[in-house]
Structure 1
Amino acid sequence: MASLNVGNLGEYLREQRRTAQLSLRQLAEAAGVSNPYLSQIERGLRKPSAEVLQQVAKALRISAETLYVRAGILDEKERDELETRAVILADPSINERQKQVLLQIYDSFRKENAAEAAQAAEQQAHQSPQPTET
């Protein structure tokens, strides 16, 4: 059963494949999936696994997280967090200890901001609208 996101994913994959100037057969071979299966994904008839999406993304040289969002596996906020983490971990100018410290700081800021947002939402929910006088 195909979800709405699968069609969107298929159109996006087709566009990326054409931009990369790859035939369906070439992409299928590079991603290690069958040509008919990839065709069904592009037409929105199949929902691929995260593993297949990762293989296709690698073959297209695009972000797997972008495909996960398009397929409805990951939401936009999760993708942003994963991409930020990936950039930090891939930075060759800092050592492993520094990367871990930076990730801990990043996590603490995210938790702090989430807690503040939850508190603000709770306060707003408890404030009742003032009646107006006529």
Structure 2
Amino acid sequence: MTRIKAPNLGEQFGSLGEFIAAQRRAARLSLRQLSEQAGVSNPYLSQIERGLRKPSAEVLQQLSRALRISAEQLYVRAGILDPDDHPSLPVETAVLADTAISERQKRVLIDVYASFVRENAASAAEAAQEQAS
């Protein structure tokens, strides 16, 4: 049986800066609007998006709040967190990258997905506990 390799979501956007720029455009924010909302200077944000600067974890958190995405996504892209420790990030990234749905619809989809993951983890923990008894 031949497996079709799905494109790596990290490769879809390239660098951290390209990902931030794509998220900014998807949120329909100008560079100036995002810089104001995140509390960083316009030139600094421009340098981040062009890959000339590597932002700190604090700046990434400010950007994630302004973009309404998880900070973990930006931390993984920046190499701060290991993607293997955050298996739901590819789903979140795919939903956030979708331009066919609104920002509100994206948040609802991610919230529903996260609730399913939590529910299944709780069920698995209960089943493991029952088997151990």
Matched, 1:44 2:51: yes
Question: Which one has a bigger Cα radius of gyration?
Answer: 1
Partner of 1:56: 63
Structure 2: runs of 5+ lacking an equivalent: 1-13, 90-110, 116-121, 126-133
Structure 1: runs of 5+ lacking an equivalent: 1-6, 92-101, 106-134
Matched, 1:79 2:86: yes
Matched, 1:29 2:63: no
Sort the Cα spacing of 1:12 and 1:81 in 2 relative to 1 into closer, same or farther, 3 A. closer
Work out the CA distance in 2 between the residues paired with 1:79 and 1:41. 24
Tell me which moved more, 8-17 or 70-79: 70-79
Matched, 1:69 2:76: yes
Please give the per-residue CA displacement for 1:61-93, whole angstroms capped at 9, x wherever unaligned.
0011000111111111233499xxxx9xx98xx
Matched, 1:20 2:27: yes
Identity value in percent = 72
Counterpart residue identity of residue 42, structure 1: E
TM-score norm. by structure 1 comes to: 0.55
TM-score norm. by structure 2 comes to: 0.56
